[in-house]
Homo-oligomer: A and B are copies of this chain.
Amino acid sequence: MGTRESTRTRLLDATDELLLASGDPATPVDRILERAGVSPATLYRAYPSKEALVAAALDRRHAEWQAVWDDAVARAGSERDRLLAVFDALEHFRARATGARWCAFLGTAAAYADPPPVLATAVAQESESLHTRLRTLAEPVAGDRADELAEAVALVFTGALGMRLRPGRAVATADARAVAAVLVDAAAAWDSAAARGTGALGDVPA
């Protein structure tokens, strides 16, 4: 399929570094081509459009993220820690060479009021897998209220990413994890209270 270092790989690397990690949605193709050491013709034989290239880079990034997250879950020693492992994974993921300015997927979603289908799909897949996995990990902790807890953890997780856009107000991953831990423990209390058939502190207002 290619030379020694596939041109596709070089294109994906350049896109990952220049566009996704830097979080500059206006990165022109020329800079990607230059960095990849690839000519325009080669790009457009490999991918039908710039957006398709970006989508492919997002897909690859997603797979890497899943792997990092899996490892973090595997290292965790309790059900509570397995649910919170998403924050440990984030710390590892961010520490890589191509850690993103805030989030490659949300950044792509933010760039388009009406995203091209190929990008909408890439973004939606990450959001879906985030929810599905959190939902699964929340179940042993929160039982019937796993959906609620998964949403709360996703909220804090997404908040930690978004806070990086606020100058001087980025939140340490450990702090976000601690905030989520309070929610996890509260939910665990609801759940065991429910198991005992009583209501508990957090029977939310409206």
Binding site for B on A (CB under 8 A): 22-26, 101-102, 106-107, 109-114, 120, 123-124, 127, 130-131, 151-152, 154-163, 165-169, 171, 174-179, 181-183, 185-186, 201-202, 204-206
Asked if B167 and A179 sit within 8 Å, CB to CB, the answer is: no
In the complex, which residue of chain B has the Cβ closest to the Cβ of A121?
B167
**Quick one: closest B residue to A204, CB to CB?**
B178
Complex contact B23–A113 (CB within 8 A) = yes
B residues near A124, Cβ cutoff 8 Å: 167-168
The majority secondary structure among interface residues of chain A is helix
B165 pairs with A155, CB closer than 8 A: no
Q: Given the complex of chains A and B, what is the CA–CA distance between A102 and B177 in angstroms?
A: 24
Contact B205 A166 (CB under 8 A): no
Give the chain B neighbours of A159 by CB distance below 8 A.
154-160, 162
CB distance from A52 to the nearest CB of B (A): 18
- Cβ contacts under 8 Å, A107 to chain B: 110
| Residues in B whose Cβ lies below 8 Å from that of A102 | 110
